[in-house]
Amino acid sequence: MGLKLEKLKARKIYNSRGEETIEVDAWVNGAFGRAAAPAGKSKGGKEVMYYPEGGVDEAVRLVNSELAAKLRGLDVSNHEALDEALKKFDGTENFRRLGGNTAFAVSLAVAIAAANTTGKPLYEHLRIVDSFRLPYPLGNVIGGGAHAGRGAPDWQEMLVSPIGARNVEEAVKANILVHARAGKLLDKYLGGFTLGRGDEGAYAPPIKTEDGIRLLKQAADEISDELGFKIRVGVDVAASSLWNPKKRRYVYPTEGIELDREAQMSRVAEWVDKYELFYVEDPLEEDDMEGFADLCKQVGKRALICGDDLIVTNPSILSRAAELRAIRAVIIKPNQVGLLTTAMKSVKIAHENGIVPVISHRSGEPPEGHLAQLAVAWGGKFLKAGVIGGERIAKANELLRIGENIGVEKMVELRI
């Protein structure tokens, strides 16, 4: 007996930024699944369209009045059959008709319902790995760029990950302790700080990028000493948001400077060494694949150069990056491509080429933990899901629950 999709229902809800998003309920063989779509603020230019013309309201209408009837009775034992049906219904290259977020919410809701028919967790239903391991949490502690306001750091995220932790409980706790310590150091450095936060629960202080990195490294080193294992610092430059194509320069509004391509690469390389950065995401603008490859040659043995806007979870772009050895890690955001199976294809390509998969949230998130399930299902080495805030903690808490099932000490093997 197959797994029959019996019913779909969509509605409009709100994400962690208070933006409208779509939520979908699905019933498969009597079992229920529910999922909502996230939304990014610094979107890659090659991502699929989030919603059709008419926005979330039109997406909800399409699901309830057309798509639900079209898919009713579909055998979803093989998840690819569902995703192919969604692609066929949309009929465009970039989900212009249905919306990538709509497709993602349907795809995930049905997968959850299908898993629930057997009583298995989602990570077992969507597994692509032989054995399950727990990813290291990677979280934004000090934010800037598109996630913060005027006067905040120019680079978008200053991150920590407890890559020396012996188990997932230590790992989750470590990031929370670093977040708290960083707040105290910022308050002291600025002579009083309201501890205001940006979209992802990271502090958004009025400081320059390098000062933020330095203070975060101090916080990470102090907590490392107290806990007895290494916590490392990384960054998401989100360089496309700094890039001015007319000037051909990276414009830093807080610092009041402009850097050409070579100067940008030199700055990244200098700070990798100076602050022992283990992870650098999107250090260059999203169309500079060759620049990524050059930077990988320079610092790739010391830090994971990671592509997000460069790759947008797209399998064909990732394959090209692998050929050029342009990256050592890749961000996986399923809603960038609209379908779970397309994201899974990218993860498989990453594994085949020794590229580290980083399963990632978006800045606007629903308050649930499904992303942690996907990270374990797909062999993600990192779960990038923030540190503080209900929608971020939900992912960390889900990781702790999964640890109860597979063993809290079953952390992934990681080589930086």
Residues designated as active site: 200, 333
The angle that helices 370-377 and 390-406 make with each other, rounded to 10 degrees, is 40
CA dihedral 207, 208, 211, 215 (to 10 degrees): 50
Q: Quote the CA–CA distance of 323 and 352 in Å, as a whole number.
A: 12
Q: Quote the CA–CA distance of 48 and 101 in Å, as a whole number.
A: 9
Which run of H or E residues covers position 244? strand 243-244
Q: Quote the CA–CA distance of 402 and 307 in Å, as a whole number.
A: 27
Q: Quote the CA–CA distance of 133 and 141 in Å, as a whole number.
A: 25
Q: Could you tell me which of 159, 215, 208 has the C-alpha nearest to residue 186?
A: 215
Q: Quote the CA–CA distance of 221 and 377 in Å, as a whole number.
A: 32
Work out whether strand 5-14 and strand 157-161 pair parallel, antiparallel, or are unpaired. unpaired
Return the amino acid letter for 319: S
CA distances to 161, 179, 208, 216, 281 from 212, rounded to whole Å, are 16, 12, 6, 6, 16
Q: Quote the CA–CA distance of 174 and 257 in Å, as a whole number.
A: 35
The tokens of 88 are what? Answer: 């066929």
Q: Quote the CA–CA distance of 17 and 55 in Å, as a whole number.
A: 17
Assess contact for 30 and 6: CB atoms under 8 A: yes
Q: Could you tell me which of 260, 319, 332, 265 has the C-alpha nearest to residue 292?
A: 265
Distance of CA 25 to the CA centre of its chain: 23
Q: Quote the CA–CA distance of 81 and 104 in Å, as a whole number.
A: 14
